[in-house]
Structure 1
Amino acid sequence: MTTEAELLAKIPTGLFIGGEWRDASDGSTLDVLDPATGKALVSIADATVEDGAAALDAAVAAQADWAATPARARGEILRRAFDLLQERREEFALLMTLEMGKPLAEANGEVTYGGEFLRWFSEEAARLTGRYGTNPEGTGTMIVSQQPVGPTFLITPWNFPLAMATRKIAPALAAGCTVVLKPAALTPLTSLAFAQLLVDAGLPAGVVNVVTTSRSQELSAPIIADSRLRKLSFTGSTGVGQALLRQSADNVLRTSMELGGNAPFVIFEDADLDAAIEGALAAKFRNIGQACTAANRFIVHSSIAEEFTARVTERVQAMKIGRGTEEGVQIGPLIDDRAVAKCVALVNDAVSRGATLHTGGTAIEGEGSYFAPAVLSGVAPGSDILREEIFGPVLAVSTFDTEAEAIAAANDTEYGLVSYVFTTDQGRAQRLIGALETGMMGLNVGVLSNAAAPFGGVKQSGIGREGGSEGIHEYLSTKYTMAPLG
């Protein structure tokens, strides 16, 4: 098995532009830190504005040839990438644990999940269809075809370093689009390793370019302003997404935005409580709570709230905290000290408004960015924890008495990414599908993401969809041609 030192020694540390690894144009570097220790894992190139321009130049130069590459050939490269990822799964899992902090078991799960986008879109590449037929007036032939939108700029977050990259890159490549990828500065190593994997899978030079930088706004703005760019896809906070949408308006870019969430987890009195508890733990503590799909507000019927709170508290108190590489660890470090401080502040605000803290809720002293997972009950309306995306291991419980109250509480947010509902009443379940203002819903399940399903939200949680048959169409333009009959 590859050791940590051996793995880090083989990860590329340069920018990947036009099929070549290179240093930043000004020679600058940035350190990638291990959140479990706060110490540097490795130093990598810190891209400049000039490097970003070079990456877009390379993507533009490769666009025509890549779009003309047969769909089957594009799909086969993605399939080879999937196979290589399975061969290297232990290395990718360890790398994600080192740079992001998640437990190794969860990192292995992300390799599986991220890889599925490669496999799914390798199959979708050859399934693109159009329409052909006579117009209703009988005067001509209508041809409707799908064409790649062109060069794309993909910006990924730090919390799922592999899956967020494959979820964007795979459909772009399948559709015939070239890519400039800018991974988060906190977790760029997985993207660099993935770029090398794509090379090994046979991807032509310039089709995917990767620029790592600590100067994100400075580098991104001129790329977005360049008239040759035709698509922007971003996953991250709503505030940043709004700014990027404003920047994209001048060139009327195609955009996909997967933004913040404030997921309600609603448990009705008729729910299977055992299943609801398992679902709650999965929805809240997956990825140490650092996921846009993480349950944020637990809205529990008053008749079962006390039992639910007591049982989840017991489970949370038993969770093992430590470095993600240690056996049995369920809660690794948060991404940095700012994330810890935010969780502490949200807990303190809720308690100051009358909530009861049952366990955890404090920073853990010592090396690394550790936070003791928390359970709160009696969270009062107006508490910050009910309005803001927590992005950490804090389970906050409030109560309701009627279905109408539950729906109103669940929808009381500007976000609309995902909701979770536990009930055995099928009529109620159908009503909730229509009533909850979210782009996705988990019905009696705590984990719902799947490469074959459309992922995305409504309201201020974003626009567009990733995954499923819908995902590839985010990278395609529809063209209509009229021709004479005969």
Structure 2
Amino acid sequence: MADNPTTLYVNGTWRASADGATFDVLNPATGEVLAQVASATPADGMAALDAADNAAREWAETPARERAHYLWRAFDAVTARAEEFARCMTLEMGKPLDQARAEVTYGAEFLRWFAEEAAHVHGECYHTPEGALQVMTLKRPVGPCLFITPWNFPLAMATRKIAPALAAGCTCVLKPSEDTPLTALLFAQVLDEVGLPAGVVNVVPTADTPPMTGPMIADPRLRKISFTGSTAVGRALLKEAAENVLRTSMELGGLAPFIVFDDADLDAAVDAAVATKMRNMGEACNASSRFYVHNSVREEFTTRVSEALGAMRVGDGMSDGTEVGPIVSAKQRDHVVDLVNRSVAAGGRLVCGGHPCEGPGFFYPPTVVADLAPDNPLLHEEVFGPVAPICGFDTEEEALALANATEFGLAGYVHTRDVARIMRLAQRLEVGMIGVNSATISNAAAPFGGVKASGLGREGGLDGIEEFLETIYVGMPR
């Protein structure tokens, strides 16, 4: 990590924080200090906003093809340095190295997708129905943006926000998670090296987020916030954003149901269950969080999933053969421990796992809890860890009622061979994304986002760039 940037990136310059403060970034596999990173102050945040605002007009007026070229160069640079990015993510976040490599591919794809979309932004021209007016609509960038990203996908969450913003003509300030700032700073280094103009992207990690971001959010020059993280923090940010009526994109908590019907291909369902639960050690907002399995196949499904999870190798993500890395922090590991303990105390039956691994590091084994009552806390609180609660159902209506009995509505997964049932569930499952007979739904070309308390707006796909554009209507007499 010796060559990884550890200072703030503001207005195209690497600099210490205003007061010289730093914070420790830990390796979750060992608990040891990996690096010390500059901790931005409120003054640093405002300096970053100054830079973004000063660069905003020129960047908005930069031809779309030229903006796209910067994204193409960034895509090439990230791809060329894929192993460096992967190792950085594994060291600071814990995911197995093969999964980190997959994230580099996924994260880089947002740069490519929005490089291709930059030149396709356009309005319309038409006559009103009564024929009196000619309508012209224009698209223009919303203006300077603040991005607050989480620790679980430190590259992809940055590119998923920055790429469409740059394509649309917006400048930005990125505040990465204090648990995983090194990947974001490495990405800033790439943007600097490909020649992105100063001030277009600024990166300000900090150990104390609200005091640093608060003045920016209160400043009328900021025009948008995009946040990925917990629903509680999202609600607080929405309250702050309301004062200046800021555009907001919120990708918040998830509690994804995974529904297996009696006609499902059980082999495929088991494989998908393991994949959607254990990717990133379960630390993903769209991870399967509640397994509802038809009672006729529930016992077999539970046995097979438990055997598969119990056989997974837990260890340092940098080690060959590791399938389950550490939880990102002691705090998050303790949350998983507490929620599983409360679930068992409420009547859940522990099938495998359930006890934290001995140190060093913040490890927790793959865990299955069965026979949960509908009010069990594990069915209503996001565990964000390698824990699979499994419940039974008898009818489609019962499965729907159980799946929708939550404030969250990000993703859901359905396994059935019945096409008519798939279409019914697509209309009635209260989620923003549905995976059918599949373990994977995330893709740069698809709109990612939820309903209810899981957020507002979409990232990726054709919708992704619209989040950074205003529609301006010009009416002229015919």
Normalising by structure 2, we get a TM-score of: 0.99
- Give me the whole-angstrom Cα distance separating, in 2, the residues matched to 1:295 and 1:261: 9
Q: Distance in 1 between matches of 2:165 and 2:2?
A: 30
Q: CA deviation at 1:318?
A: 1.1
Query: 2:329 aligned with 1:336, yes or no?
Result: yes
Shift of 1:200: 1.5
CA distance in 2, matches of 1:339, 1:219: 23
Matched, 1:481 2:474: yes
Q: Does 1:96 align with 2:89?
A: yes
Letter in 1 for 2:255: N
Counterparts of 2:133 and 2:40 in 1: how far apart (Å)? 52
**Contact between 2:348 and 2:376, CA under 8 Å: does it hold in 1?**
no
Corresponding residue number in structure 1 for 2:213: 220
- From 419, 434, 447, the counterpart of 1:441: 434
Letter in structure 2 aligned against 1:48: T
> Which residue does the alignment assign to 2:281?
288
Residue in structure 1 matched with residue 446 of structure 2 by the alignment: 453
Deviation string for 1:1-50 (max 9, x for gaps)? xxxxxxx1111111000000000000111111100011111111111000
Q: Among residues 469, 472, 481, which one is paired with 2:462 in the alignment?
A: 469
Q: 2:288 & 2:4 partners in 1: Cα distance?
A: 34
1:348 is aligned to 341
Whether the 8 Å contact between 2:8 and 2:17 is mirrored in structure 1 is: yes
Write the distance in 2 (CA, Å) between the matches of 1:214 and 1:270. Answer: 50
Letter in 1 for 2:95: K
What 5-or-longer segments of structure 2 have no aligned partner?
none
Distance 1:348 1:13 in 2: 38
Select 1:47's aligned residue among 40, 44, 51: 40
How well do the aligned residues superpose, as a CA RMSD in angstroms?
0.8
Residue 323 of structure 1: which of 309, 316, 319 is its match?
316
Q: Distance in 2 between matches of 1:228 and 1:342?
A: 38
Alignment match of 1:164 (pick from 157, 164, 169): 157
Cα distance in 2 for residues equivalent to 1:317 and 1:243: 39
Q: How far apart, in 2, do the equivalents of 1:49 and 1:401 lie?
A: 55
Residue 292 (structure 1) shift:
0.3
Q: What does 1:382-397 align with in structure 2 at a 5 Å threshold?
A: 382-397=375-390
Pick aligned residue for 1:36 from 16, 26, 29: 29
Whether the aligned pair in 2 keeps the contact of 1:350 and 1:380 (CA below 8 Å) is no
- 1:407 alignment counterpart: 400
How far the C-alpha of 1:376 sits from its partner, in A, is: 1.3
Counterpart Cα distance in 2 of 1:454 and 1:38: 36
Between the aligned partners of 2:214 and 2:46, the Cα distance in structure 1 is 10
Q: Percent identity?
A: 57
The CA deviation string for residues 355-387 of structure 1, in whole angstroms up to 9 with x for no partner, is 221111111112000011101111112111000
Number of aligned positions between the proteins:
478
One-letter amino acid matched to 1:198: L
Query: In structure 1, how many angstroms separate the alpha carbons of the residues matched to 2:342 and 2:206?
Result: 35
Instruction: Give the equivalent residue in structure 1 for 2:59.
Output: 66
1:139 positional shift: 3.0
Q: Which runs of no fewer than 5 residues in structure 1 stay unpaired?
A: 1-7
Q: How does 1:159-198 map to 2 (within 5 A)?
A: 159-198=152-191
Alignment-mate amino acid for residue 62 of structure 1: A
Amino acid paired to 2:476: A
Q: Is the 8 A contact 1:125 1:175 kept in 2?
A: yes
* Structure 1 runs of 4+ with >4 Å offset: none
Shift of 1:446: 1.5
Q: Kindly provide the amino acid, as one letter, of the partner of residue 84 in structure 2.
A: E
Cα distance, 1:337 vs structure 2: 1.4
Contact 2:29 2:360 in 1 (8 A): yes
Cross-structure match for 1:278: 271
How far does residue 150 in structure 1 lie from its aligned partner after superposition? 0.3
Structure 1 Cα separation of the partners of residues 313 and 220 of structure 2: 51
